Amino acid sequence: MSHDHDDPRYPVKKTDEEWRKELSPMQYEVARHAATERPFSGAYWDHWDDGQYKCVGCGEVLFESTTKFDAGCGWPSYSEAASAEVVERIRDASHGMERVEVRCKKCGSHLGHVFPDGPEPTGERFCINSAAIDFKPK
Ligand SMILES: [Zn+2]
Protein backbone atom coordinates (compact mmCIF):
# COMPACT_ATOMS: atom_id res chain seq x y z
CA MET A 1 0.00 0.00 0.00
CA SER A 2 1.64 3.25 -1.04
CA HIS A 3 0.89 6.73 0.09
CA ASP A 4 0.28 9.76 -2.06
CA HIS A 5 2.55 12.32 -0.48
CA ASP A 6 0.74 15.23 -2.03
CA ASP A 7 -2.66 14.08 -0.87
CA PRO A 8 -4.66 17.27 -0.32
CA ARG A 9 -6.93 15.56 2.20
CA TYR A 10 -4.38 15.97 4.98
CA PRO A 11 -3.87 19.41 6.56
CA VAL A 12 -0.28 18.62 7.61
CA LYS A 13 1.86 18.40 4.46
CA LYS A 14 5.58 17.66 4.30
CA THR A 15 7.91 16.66 1.50
CA ASP A 16 9.45 13.22 1.41
CA GLU A 17 12.77 14.81 2.34
CA GLU A 18 11.24 16.46 5.41
CA TRP A 19 9.64 13.22 6.53
CA ARG A 20 12.98 11.41 6.19
CA LYS A 21 14.74 14.10 8.20
CA GLU A 22 12.19 14.23 11.02
CA LEU A 23 11.49 10.54 11.49
CA SER A 24 13.77 7.65 12.38
CA PRO A 25 14.22 5.10 9.55
CA MET A 26 11.76 2.73 11.25
CA GLN A 27 9.20 5.48 11.87
CA TYR A 28 9.55 6.59 8.27
CA GLU A 29 8.99 3.11 6.83
CA VAL A 30 5.94 2.51 9.02
CA ALA A 31 4.30 5.95 8.96
CA ARG A 32 5.01 6.91 5.36
CA HIS A 33 5.21 3.53 3.61
CA ALA A 34 2.80 1.44 5.68
CA ALA A 35 5.47 -1.03 6.82
CA THR A 36 4.64 -3.20 9.81
CA GLU A 37 7.08 -3.58 12.68
CA ARG A 38 7.79 -7.11 13.88
CA PRO A 39 5.46 -8.24 16.70
CA PHE A 40 6.88 -7.87 20.23
CA SER A 41 9.62 -5.60 18.85
CA GLY A 42 8.19 -2.11 19.34
CA ALA A 43 8.38 0.22 22.33
CA TYR A 44 4.74 0.03 23.40
CA TRP A 45 3.27 -3.48 23.00
CA ASP A 46 3.98 -4.12 26.72
CA HIS A 47 3.79 -0.53 27.98
CA TRP A 48 1.09 0.32 30.54
CA ASP A 49 1.82 3.79 31.93
CA ASP A 50 -0.93 6.41 32.16
CA GLY A 51 -0.86 8.97 29.40
CA GLN A 52 -1.48 9.65 25.75
CA TYR A 53 -0.09 8.28 22.51
CA LYS A 54 0.57 10.90 19.85
CA CYS A 55 1.21 10.71 16.13
CA VAL A 56 4.95 10.69 15.28
CA GLY A 57 4.17 12.67 12.16
CA CYS A 58 2.26 15.62 13.59
CA GLY A 59 1.82 15.28 17.36
CA GLU A 60 -1.94 14.76 17.27
CA VAL A 61 -3.23 12.79 20.29
CA LEU A 62 -4.46 9.51 18.79
CA PHE A 63 -4.96 7.10 21.68
CA GLU A 64 -5.42 7.23 25.46
CA SER A 65 -3.80 4.72 27.82
CA THR A 66 -7.24 4.06 29.35
CA THR A 67 -8.35 2.27 26.16
CA LYS A 68 -5.18 0.18 25.79
CA PHE A 69 -5.52 -3.55 26.38
CA ASP A 70 -3.39 -6.67 26.06
CA ALA A 71 -4.45 -8.41 22.86
CA GLY A 72 -1.47 -10.78 23.02
CA CYS A 73 -0.56 -9.94 19.43
CA GLY A 74 2.71 -8.10 20.03
CA TRP A 75 1.50 -4.67 18.96
CA PRO A 76 -0.07 -1.94 21.09
CA SER A 77 -3.84 -2.44 20.97
CA TYR A 78 -6.61 0.01 21.79
CA SER A 79 -10.38 -0.42 21.94
CA GLU A 80 -10.95 3.04 20.48
CA ALA A 81 -9.19 6.15 19.19
CA ALA A 82 -8.90 9.31 21.30
CA SER A 83 -11.75 10.59 19.13
CA ALA A 84 -13.38 9.38 15.94
CA GLU A 85 -12.20 12.60 14.32
CA VAL A 86 -8.46 11.91 14.62
CA VAL A 87 -8.24 8.69 12.61
CA GLU A 88 -9.07 7.87 9.03
CA ARG A 89 -10.24 4.38 8.02
CA ILE A 90 -9.32 3.05 4.58
CA ARG A 91 -10.16 -0.29 3.00
CA ASP A 92 -6.93 -2.25 2.49
CA ALA A 93 -6.97 -5.33 0.27
CA SER A 94 -3.18 -5.77 0.18
CA HIS A 95 -1.36 -8.99 1.14
CA GLY A 96 -4.40 -11.06 0.12
CA MET A 97 -6.38 -9.86 3.12
CA GLU A 98 -9.42 -7.68 3.54
CA ARG A 99 -8.53 -5.21 6.26
CA VAL A 100 -9.21 -1.66 7.37
CA GLU A 101 -6.13 0.54 7.48
CA VAL A 102 -5.96 3.31 10.07
CA ARG A 103 -4.20 6.60 9.31
CA CYS A 104 -3.74 9.85 11.17
CA LYS A 105 -6.34 12.18 9.75
CA LYS A 106 -4.15 15.22 10.19
CA CYS A 107 -0.96 14.11 8.40
CA GLY A 108 -1.90 10.85 6.66
CA SER A 109 0.67 8.75 8.51
CA HIS A 110 -0.05 5.02 8.51
CA LEU A 111 -0.75 3.78 12.04
CA GLY A 112 -1.91 0.19 11.68
CA HIS A 113 -5.24 -1.59 11.20
CA VAL A 114 -8.54 -1.88 13.03
CA PHE A 115 -10.20 -5.28 13.49
CA PRO A 116 -13.74 -6.17 14.66
CA ASP A 117 -12.55 -8.52 17.41
CA GLY A 118 -11.89 -6.13 20.29
CA PRO A 119 -13.43 -5.94 23.75
CA GLU A 120 -16.82 -4.44 24.54
CA PRO A 121 -18.27 -1.84 24.40
CA THR A 122 -16.66 -0.90 21.07
CA GLY A 123 -15.86 -4.43 19.90
CA GLU A 124 -12.91 -2.98 18.03
CA ARG A 125 -9.18 -3.59 18.21
CA PHE A 126 -6.88 -0.90 16.90
CA CYS A 127 -3.67 -2.77 16.18
CA ILE A 128 -1.06 -0.01 16.02
CA ASN A 129 2.66 0.10 15.27
CA SER A 130 4.75 1.49 18.13
CA ALA A 131 6.86 3.26 15.52
CA ALA A 132 3.88 5.38 14.48
CA ILE A 133 3.18 6.77 17.95
CA ASP A 134 4.96 8.66 20.74
CA PHE A 135 3.96 8.22 24.37
CA LYS A 136 3.41 11.28 26.53
CA PRO A 137 3.02 10.54 30.26
CA LYS A 138 0.14 12.08 32.16
ZN1 LIG B 1 -0.33 12.69 12.27
How do residues 8-65 score in pLDDT, each as one tens digit? 789 999 999 999 999 999 999 999 999 999 999 999 999 999 999 999 999 999 999 9
- Ligand 1 centre distance from Cα of residue 56 (Å): 6
Span 80-127, pLDDT tens digits: 999 999 999 999 999 899 999 999 999 999 999 999 999 999 999 999
Q: Is residue 127 among the annotated active site residues?
A: yes
Determine which one of 55, 58, 107, 127 is catalytic: 127
Q: Residue 111: helix, strand or coil by DSSP?
A: strand
Q: 49 C-alpha to center of ligand 1: Å? A: 22
Task: Record the pTM.
Answer: 0.93
Contacts of residue 126, Cβ cutoff 8 Å, sequence gap at least 6: 63, 77, 78, 79, 80, 81, 87, 102, 111, 112, 113, 114, 118
Domains belonging to the chain, first-starting first, are 16-137 (2.170.150.20)
The pLDDT confidence band at residue 6, using thresholds 50, 70 and 90, is: low
CB under 5 Å of ion ligand 1: residues: 55, 57-58, 60, 104, 106-107, 109
106 CA to middle of ligand 1, Å? 5
